[in-house]
Structure 1
């Protein structure tokens, strides 16, 4: 299951929000920058990303963890999601904007996620967590009432 993207710490005058992702027994708290997107924009992005992964058995999607203005940024922090049947693998990653062949579209961040790898270029296993499509659907429906 994936928790609400913003669970605490956001105020109208703050520049960051404390957020949390939970996948199975794994939980991580992180800061989301609010200089480009509001809390509601992060929530809308997460809802779209969860729909993207939910409605295809081989989809790739991602939850944006933190974004600043793509025109002035080097990277976007995200949680890529890779679906294989009912299994969804979740990793932590960066999208390096200067490596893209086109302008980054924050409304479809999954277009810029690299294919799933289990080891990095140095041969180290990439940390990932597993959840199910049904858990993602249950969360999306309960979080957004859809």
Structure 2
């Protein structure tokens, strides 16, 4: 299974850094809880961004960058993302922080352009944590967020 799922869409909370909503990401059998900020983007903006990124990534057979923390662009320092790297029937998913200062003309609608090809070692030579999911599960998630399922 793969997907990012909002828990209770009607219940938000302030975690000291603005309003958030509980969600989880399913990566095969691994599930991680997420606190997704909703001060700037709402649930639909996240879903639209994910759908656009997945469609682009699958079409180009590269990767999709799924933003899970978007804030006001003027005060934005970084965004949390989950990147899906497509590898045929299986895909590799990595969690990555993207620092906005690295991209002076940052545009969230072009998020896939800010990530390079998959790397398995970080700059210090350590293995980057990643999860393996079925590409079909990513496509099923895409279908669910655009309303086909």
Count residues in correspondence: 144
Q: TM-score, normalised by structure 2?
A: 0.85
Whole-angstrom distance in 1 between the partners of 2:10 and 2:97: 23
Match of 1:6 in 2: 6
Asked if residue 94 in structure 1 is aligned to residue 81 in structure 2, the reply is no
Q: Which runs of 5+ in 1 are unaligned?
A: none
Q: CA RMSD in A?
A: 2.0
* Richer in helix (by share): 2
- Counterparts of 1:60-99 in structure 2, within 5 Å, are 60-99=63-102
Q: Secondary structure at the match of 1:18?
A: strand
Structure 2: unaligned runs, 5 residues or longer: none
CA distance in 1, matches of 2:66, 2:113: 12
Distance 1:37 1:142, change over 3 A: closer
Q: 1:30 to 1:127 in 2, by over 3 A?
A: same
Contact persistence 1:10–1:16 (CA under 8 A): no
What is the Cα deviation at residue 84 of structure 1? 2.0
TM-score, length basis structure 1 = 0.86
Q: Of Structure 1 and Structure 2, which has the larger fraction of its residues in strand? A: 2
Task: Give a deviation string over 1:62-111, Cα, whole Å, max 9, x none.
Answer: 110111122211111100111122221110001111112x4111122111
